[in-house]
Amino acid sequence: MTGTDEANVDIARHAGNAPRYSRRLSDKILISFHHACDQADYEIAEQLLHILENMLTRRTVPPDTNRRKSIESLVAAHERLWHLRHPEKAYG
């Protein structure tokens, strides 16, 4: 079987109702935000937060059962970025 054949089998396997990804997109964006913070790339971290905020504040149908937890994670992420950008005020 060639590489292309294997890829086609993989695509066919995912074509059913089986979930293709194990994490929500918002979770992956939050992980990327923390990765950007860890690398001190605060501009990218801020942009990722804006994307995440847009995702969480738009109306979802059906309503997300984890909305409160998602909003709390968003607030914590904003706090982390603020503390990273203002280390002199974090403990003063």
Extents of the domains making up the chain: 22-90
Element housing 44 (H / E) = helix 42-57
Q: How far apart are CA 66 and CA 3, in angstroms?
A: 39
Kindly report the length of the chain: 92
Q: For 16-62, how does the pLDDT look when each residue is reduced to its tens digit (9 = 90+)?
A: 566 677 888 999 999 999 999 999 999 999 999 999 999 988 876 56
Q: What pLDDT score was predicted for residue 63?
A: 64
Q: Against a cut of 0.75, is the pTM above it?
A: no
Q: What pLDDT score was predicted for residue 37?
A: 98
Burial track 63-74 (b if 16+ CB lie within 10 A, e otherwise): eeeeeeebeebb
Tokens read off for 9 = 């089998």
Q: What pLDDT score was predicted for residue 42?
A: 98
Q: How far apart are CA 6 and CA 9, in angstroms?
A: 5
